[in-house]
Amino acid sequence: MRKLLASEKKQPILISFSGMDGAGKSTQISNLRAYAEDLGLRVTQLAFWDDVVVLKPYREGFVQKVFNSEKGIGSPEKPVERRDKNVRGWHLNLVRHGLYSLDAVHLRSVTNRVRKSDADLVIMDRYIYDELANLPLENPVTRAYVHAVMKMVPHPDVSFVLDADPVLARARKPEYPVEFLYKVRASYLELAEMLGDITVVPALGLADARHFIEVAFRALMERRRRARAAAGLRAA
């Protein structure tokens, strides 16, 4: 069965993981990758910030010089004070709309390329959702922009957004103020409701979240299997 799953795949499954910093994305991505590889699937993993975002060095340099944002990734032993997406203002929102549009165009190119690869499963560490959640979704113009962007980019087969308690997320990855994380959490949930095709993983413990994701993945694989079987019958 494991070889059958891998050999019958014609196009890689695309799964994305999004959510606030400290929600447990890296852990769940690692878990799903190991689970899929145990099934015999070939897995490719991409990081949105490394493989999709355009002008990355300039954007990093800008926030570090202009906003005095600290470098590195925060940890309980070494907190980091980040100042980038938590810096707001109408002029910054305007710039973000433009940059996110460029990222969306490049995302389409990247996903089209990997979907032609020999991978069975492509896992994206963050997706365009993580940028859209950083915009003022209460603004009607921004909401129209979000829908326009989503028409530009491929939709993953499953888009996971990991919910989390902001206080616990901050404790795991101390980079942003808790007050900001509460706003981010609300924005992700609003985006999920707005788009309707995002799977929100409830704020669970790591083991329960892993089980939730594996159940969703198995359901997706079963739907794919049934669709292939039905296509085979029609062809016959």
Band (170; pLDDT cuts 50, 70, 90): very high
Q: Are 17 and 125 in contact (CB under 8 A)?
A: yes
Helix (H, G, I), strand (E, B) or coil at 106: helix
One CATH from 3.20.20.105, 3.40.50.360, 3.40.50.300, 3.10.20.30 for 2-235: 3.40.50.300
Closest CA relative to residue 130, chosen from 108, 141, 110, 146: 146
- The CB density around residue 103, as the number of other CB atoms within 10 Å, is 23
Q: Which amino acid is at 98?
A: G
pLDDT digits (tens, 9 = 90+) for 110-159: 999 998 889 999 999 999 999 999 999 999 999 999 999 999 999 999 99
What's this model's pTM, rounded to 2 decimal places?
0.90
Q: CA-to-CA distance for 133 and 188, rounded, in angstroms?
A: 5
Q: What percent of the chain has pLDDT over 70?
A: 94
Domains of the chain: which residue ranges?
A: 2-235
